[in-house]
Amino acid sequence: MIFHYPAGIKNEKSSQKPPKSKISSLKSRKILSASNRGRDFEKAINETNEYYRNNALAVIYKRPTPINVVKVDYTKSATITKAYFEKQSTTDYNGVYQGAYLDFEAKSTHNKTSFPLSNIPHQQIEHLEAVIKQKGIAFFLIELKKKDEIYFLDAKFVISYYRKSKRKSIPFSELEKVGFLIKEGYEPRIDYLPIVKRLYFDINKNPS
Amino acid sequence: MIFHYPAGIKNEKSSQKPPKSKISSLKSRKILSASNRGRDFEKAINETNEYYRNNALAVIYKRPTPINVVKVDYTKSATITKAYFEKQSTTDYNGVYQGAYLDFEAKSTHNKTSFPLSNIPHQQIEHLEAVIKQKGIAFFLIELKKKDEIYFLDAKFVISYYRKSKRKSIPFSELEKVGFLIKEGYEPRIDYLPIVKRLYFDINKNPS
């Protein structure tokens, strides 16, 4: 059985960080199979953000998983001995791109025909609504594992589906119409910034 | 002895969340003495951000403290039994205000005459430089405990001091000249948004 550790969590055996050279040698990486890509999705986004940061294209980070620390042993160099994972009250990723605030959530589904909205906690919808009200750029990256595809979806579309539609999932046919397919590459792996630029910059701003 | 728990950390006895009514009844709160205000600084900023969110003025959160989880007991509803605090590689706070990306760090000093730059890790300086390069708004909130004062300081000033000055601290006289004093209020407690508006919006943008 493979454990799906929560965001940013490593198991004991692999708690050492991989050497820098391994991280950057993505070009030599083999193309991953669809099943591997599943649990690889978060890692791919983190690597993408790292690429963006290293190349001064954007400053976007994954928010750490909130943990409620109950007991700390200060005799053992502040070892946490009792704690619980807490729910993220926001989305997983945020940052800045050309002065604009970006905020997004990454979701994966094993479903074959539609993306279940039960994947999205109510708190996240409310958070994204607040971000949009503040003129932030809000979106989802959705991985369809069975189809081996990744879509960029404006959060407004997801919110309106969540708020107005009686259906509890977004059919893939709908998602393909409204979303933007992102082909996974080598570096960056999930290159979503060009879509952000096209959708929220090129249209709304006059070319200089 | 009073333990200064790291950000967001509670000790076991006080691990229950205070009732909502207590949080919102700030108006009835007595003005805190300078010594109380010290460890209260982070809480005051969190309450300010909560006020901004509740009143749809801005969406700003404290990033959770990153924790490296080593052992999890899944037989006891996913209790973390071994973990370590990690250093924040960014700043503590970020979010969106009127489309603009805000990123800031809060620091306190017990010093009487100057703010020591050793309070700021090199990583944070690099992070703030990257944010500024992306046209984000970057600043510090600095609490001078001995003077019972809070200053808003543009990050560019701190960075240039850090990079260029041979002195290892910013004298208060300098800080008072370049920074903006924030009087602590009731709701919001540390009202920094008007300064953000004045510094980064009113000057750079034409009045509509």
Q: What is the pLDDT of residue B145?
A: 94
Q: What is the pLDDT of residue A205?
A: 53
Q: Give, rounded to a whole angstrom, the gap between the first and last alpha carbons of chain A.
A: 55
- Those residues with Cβ within 8 angstroms of residue A73's Cβ, 6 or more apart along the chain or in another chain: A79, A80, A81
- Those residues with Cβ within 8 angstroms of residue B146's Cβ, 6 or more apart along the chain or in another chain: B34, B110, B111, B112
In Å, how far is A147's CA from the nearest CA of chain B?
A: 32
- Those residues with Cβ within 8 angstroms of residue B48's Cβ, 6 or more apart along the chain or in another chain: B188, B189, B190, B191, B192
The span from the CA of B80 to the CA of B82, in Å, is: 6
* Residue position matching structure tokens 């993505």: A26
Residues 109-128 of A with CB under 8 A from B: 127
- Those residues with Cβ within 8 angstroms of residue B29's Cβ, 6 or more apart along the chain or in another chain: B186
Interface probe with B: pick from A134, A197, A205, most Cβ of B within 10 Å: A134
| A189 neighbors A48 (Cβ within 8 angstroms) | yes
| B76 neighbors B94 (Cβ within 8 angstroms) | no
Instruction: Select from B94, B100, B130 the Cβ nearest to the Cβ of A99.
Output: B100
Q: What is the pLDDT of residue B203?
A: 62
* Residue position matching structure tokens 């605030």: A101
User: What string of DSSP letters covers A135-192?
Assistant: T-EEEEEEEETTTTEEEEEEHHHHHHHHHH-S-SEEEHHHHHHHSEEE---SSSSS--
Residues 80-109 of B with CB under 8 A from A: 80-85, 89-90, 94-103
Pairwise CB contact (< 8 Å): B78 & A96? no
The 10s digit of each residue's pLDDT in B118-131 is 989 999 999 999 99
Pairwise CB contact (< 8 Å): A63 & B63? yes
Cα dist. B36→A97, B146, B151 in Å?
39, 12, 18
Q: What is the pLDDT of residue B15?
A: 37
Chain A residue with CA closest to B95: the answer is A101
The span from the CA of A100 to the CA of A135, in Å, is: 9
pLDDT tens per residue across all 208 residues of chain A: 333 434 433 333 333 344 444 333 333 334 444 444 446 899 999 999 999 999 999 999 999 989 999 999 999 889 999 999 998 889 999 999 999 999 999 999 999 999 999 989 999 999 999 999 999 999 999 999 999 999 999 999 999 999 988 889 999 999 999 999 999 999 999 999 999 999 999 865 544 4
> Which pairing describes strands B59-62 and A180-182: parallel, antiparallel, or unpaired?
unpaired
Residues from chain B contacting residue A71 (CB–CB below 8 Å)? 12
The 10s digit of each residue's pLDDT in B37-73 is 446 899 999 999 999 999 999 999 999 989 999 999 9
Q: What would the two tokens of residue A94 be? A: 């945020």
Interface probe with B: pick from A1, A4, A14, A67, most Cβ of B within 10 Å: A67
Chain B residue with CA closest to A6: the answer is B69
How sure is the predictor about B9, in pLDDT bands with cuts at 50, 70 and 90? very low
Please indicate if any CB of chain B lies within 8 Å of the CB of A71.
yes
In Å, how far is A39's CA from the nearest CA of chain B?
A: 18
The span from the CA of A168 to the CA of A143, in Å, is: 18
Residue among B2, B13, B95 at smallest CA distance from B57? B95
The span from the CA of A83 to the CA of A81, in Å, is: 7
Residues 10-49 of B with CB under 8 A from A: 10, 12, 15
Residues from chain A contacting residue B61 (CB–CB below 8 Å)? 89-90
Q: What is the pTM for the complete model shown?
A: 0.80
Question: Where in chain B does DSSP place strands (E)?
Answer: 59-62, 67-73, 79-85, 93-97, 100-109, 114-116, 137-144, 149-154, 169-171, 180-182
In Å, how far is A131's CA from the nearest CA of chain B?
A: 6
Pairwise CB contact (< 8 Å): A83 & B79? yes
Please indicate if any CB of chain A lies within 8 Å of the CB of B135.
yes
Residues from chain B contacting residue A12 (CB–CB below 8 Å)? 70-71, 82
Hey, CA dihedral for B95, B96, B97, B103, is it positive or negative? Answer: positive
Residue among A39, A62, A40 at smallest CA distance from A49? A62
The span from the CA of A89 to the CA of A184, in Å, is: 29
Interface probe with B: pick from A69, A79, A123, A205, most Cβ of B within 10 Å: A69
Instruction: Select from A63, A99, A134 the Cβ nearest to the Cβ of B59.
Output: A134
Residues from chain A contacting residue B53 (CB–CB below 8 Å)? 130
**In a 10 Å sphere around its CB, with 0-12 CB exposed, 13-18 middle and 19+ buried, how is residue A96 labelled?**
buried
Q: Give, rounded to a whole angstrom, the gap between the first and last alpha carbons of chain B.
A: 55
> Which pairing describes strands A67-73 and B169-171: parallel, antiparallel, or unpaired?
unpaired
Q: What is the pLDDT of residue A203?
A: 63
